[in-house]
């Protein structure tokens, strides 16, 4: 009996040691994961602050920056609601952080380019004023030529559009903002009246981007050409344009469904980009 008691005591001591080792290891792992989550949160808050400091004289860029700020805020909220032990979600958020950083770098390049362009334009304007002081006749001729070119561009034959709206449609063909109920996205716009534009069939194309910024397409990639450049599009529609204003609606259905977040659509003809719009699905 004495040997049995000794043996059982040894086994109990070993088991206790194993349990303590497992507990300590698990505690350390959870601690490391929480630290990793805190680091990711810190990086996201820093990115949010970086986006807050970005601004431009271009309203379109400012509007796009507002959309990206909303994405960062949503990502921070999702991270705060996620347990640190959910490693797959944490890895997904890290990838989204990388994407948002890349997008911000692109905006920084655009803003720097605009600032450089503005500086160059101011320099050119200064030089133009100096030349005007030297020769009033040359200045008047330049103004006349510029006004003529502007008038010609305003009366150009390119068909333009207005009122681009992106909305979500459910199975009952009614608008909704709930991602789980969305069957398809609808893009509507109006082609503006242009009596000197070429009349006849015109194809309108849309490029839909999901919350991750990736272009959404159907089963196969479809390509169109705008101003000599080939681009992939999500959906298209042909309309009979006779020089009068006409409304156009184009539908896009994703085989993979729709998730929460901000969707963006860009609308093109074969000549120019006609406009863009955003939609937030909850």
What is the pLDDT, as a whole number, of residue 28?
Answer: 58
Task: Give residue for tokens 């949010």.
Answer: 48
Contact 161, 274 (CB under 8 A): yes
What is the pLDDT, as a whole number, of residue 244?
Answer: 93
What is the pLDDT, as a whole number, of residue 213?
Answer: 93
pLDDT of residue 208 exceeding 90, the answer is yes
Helix ranges (DSSP H) in 135-174: 136-154
The pTM of this model reads 0.47
Task: Give residue for tokens 């005591």.
Answer: 9
pLDDT of residue 217 exceeding 80, the answer is yes
Contact 104, 47 (CB under 8 A): yes
pLDDT of residue 121 exceeding 80, the answer is no
8, burial (CB in 10 Å: exposed 0-12, middle 13-18, buried 19+): exposed
Class of the CATH-defined domain 161-281? mainly beta
The pLDDT tens digits for 219-255 are 777 899 998 899 999 999 999 999 999 999 999 998 8
pLDDT band (50, 70, 90) for residue 277: very high
- Across 85-106, average pLDDT: 84
Count the neighbouring beta carbons within 10 Å of the beta carbon of residue 228: 5
**The two structure tokens encoding residue 72:** 């960062």
Domain ranges of the chain: 2-109, 161-281
Q: What percent of the chain has pLDDT over 90?
A: 37
């Amino acid at each position: 009996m004495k040997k049995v008691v000794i043996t059982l005591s040894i086994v109990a001591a070993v088991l206790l040691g194993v349990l303590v080792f497992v507990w300590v290891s698990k505690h350390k792992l959870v601690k490391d994961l929480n630290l990793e989550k805190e680091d990711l949160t810190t990086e996201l808050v820093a990115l949010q602050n970086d986006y807050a400091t970005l601004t431009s004289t271009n309203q379109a860029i400012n509007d796009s920056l507002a959309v990206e700020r909303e994405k960062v805020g949503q990502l921070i909220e999702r991270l705060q609601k996620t347990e640190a032990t959910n490693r797959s979600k944490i890895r997904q958020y890290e990838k989204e952080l990388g994407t948002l950083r890349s997008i911000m770098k692109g905006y920084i390049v655009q803003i720097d380019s605009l600032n450089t362009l503005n500086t160059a334009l101011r320099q050119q304007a200064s030089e133009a004023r100096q030349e005007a002081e030297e020769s009033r006749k040359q200045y008047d001729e330049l103004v006349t030529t510029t006004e003529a070119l502007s008038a010609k561009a305003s009366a150009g034959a390119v068909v333009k559009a207005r009122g681009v709206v992106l909305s979500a449609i459910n199975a009952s063909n009614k608008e909704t903002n709930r991602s789980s109920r969305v069957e398809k996205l609808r893009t509507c716009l109006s082609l503006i009246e242009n009596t000197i534009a070429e009349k006849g069939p015109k194809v309108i194309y849309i490029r839909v981007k999901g919350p991750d910024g990736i272009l959404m397409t159907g089963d196969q990639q479809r390509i169109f050409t705008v101003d000599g450049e080939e681009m992939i599009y999500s959906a298209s529609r042909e309309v009979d344009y006779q020089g009068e204003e006409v409304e156009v609606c184009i539908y896009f259905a994703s085989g993979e469904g729709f998730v929460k977040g901000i969707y963006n659509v860009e609308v093109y003809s074969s000549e120019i980009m006609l406009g863009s719009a955003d939609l937030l699905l909850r």
